Amino acid sequence: MKKFISIFLAILIVFSLTSCNTKISKKPSKLAVYATFYPLYDLTKKIAGDKATVQNIIPPGVEPHDWEPTTKQIADIEGASLVVYLGLGMDSWISKVESSVSGPKFVNVSNGIDAIKVGNAVNPHVWLSPKEAQILAKNIKDALVNADNKNAKYYEDNYNTLLNTLKQLDSEYTERLKNTKTKTFIVYHSAFDYVARDYGLNQVSIVGMSEEAEASPAKVAEVIQLIKKENIKYIFTEPLTSPKPIQSIASETGAKVLPLNTIEGLTKDEMKKGYDYIKLLQQNLDNLQKALN
């Protein structure tokens, strides 16, 4: 009987070992990629197509400035092959993730961008300019090719299609914003520094680089004066957060409110309509052109 039990145990051990082995050797069939927030997620998805599973770390509809990952979210990233992040102070929490997980490769996709300095910091909102977006797309494509070389041709093809779309948008921004009646536009937080620089406009913002900041009464009064003096007809709100001071400035001055999307995340309505990053860049151009003429 003893002999029988030990043979039985031996078989059991061999079985459990082989089942363990098959589990370990079973690799995920697709490259697993994480992107820190919406614009990077959408660009990555457009290049990765169906060769990779791309996940957005910051949930859609969540404002990403000052966001922090939970322990569970950090643990989930361990299983990925690649994490793309922006840098420039937008997703600085990524350093905490990078030091906590050993699985994925981390790639900063703002490399090569001529960043706009604001005091000791830099303005991170590069994705709002189709000119800068081309650099992001190139860095994302290179990261995918390095992580999954057997699909290099596929990623290159998708990238070229995306690059054509971004170049087309860049020309449209240049053309349609070249001869506007006025060059000054008013926004809540200074997300459009790169749009202003790349297309020769003048952005006036009520708060600084993060919409978390409080609007100072002095700044609000200054903007109201500016609107009256320059006879500005439109001011811009942000669909994701709808900041209150914009509404009060509008009712004080009679200026109309138009959306100018910071594309930091999608609203429920934008998701329902199937909008993407490119669609929102086009919408921003339409509204800029309208406000400046």
The footprint of Zn ion (CB under 5 A) covers: 191
Q: Which of 139, 21, 34 is nearest to 78 (CA)?
A: 34
Q: Which residue is nearest to Zn ion (CB)?
A: 191
Nearer to Zn ion, 191 or 223 (CB): 191
Nearer to Zn ion, 82 or 191 (CB): 191
Nearer to Zn ion, 65 or 138 (CB): 65
Token match 């070249």: residue? Answer: 178
Nearest distance in Å: CB 82, Zn ion: 25
- Give the chain's count of helices (H) and strands (E): 11, 10
Nearest distance in Å: CB 65, Zn ion: 5
Nearer to Zn ion, 32 or 280 (CB): 280
**What 3-state DSSP class applies to 73?**
helix
Nearer to Zn ion, 148 or 198 (CB): 198
Which residues are bridge partners to 33 per DSSP? 54, 82
Nearest distance in Å: CB 63, Zn ion: 8
CA 173 vs. chain centroid, Å, equals 20
Nearest distance in Å: CB 118, Zn ion: 12
Nearer to Zn ion, 78 or 212 (CB): 212
| E strand residue ranges, 150-254 | 184-187, 202-205, 234-237
Nearest distance in Å: CB 191, Zn ion: 5
Q: Which of 177, 240, 184 is nearest to 212 (CA)?
A: 240
DSSP string computed for 73-100: HHHHHTT-SEEEE--TTSSTTHHHHHHH
Q: Which two tokens stand for residue 152?
A: 């290099």
Alpha helices, DSSP H, located in 124-151? 130-147
Nearest distance in Å: CB 261, Zn ion: 11
Q: Tell me the C-alpha distance between 58 and 62, whole Å.
A: 7
Nearest distance in Å: CB 125, Zn ion: 6
Nearer to Zn ion, 180 or 241 (CB): 241
Task: Look up residue 183 and give its amino acid.
Answer: K
Do 58 and 265 meet the contact criterion of CB atoms below 8 Å apart?
A: yes
Q: Which two tokens stand for residue 71?
A: 């322990």
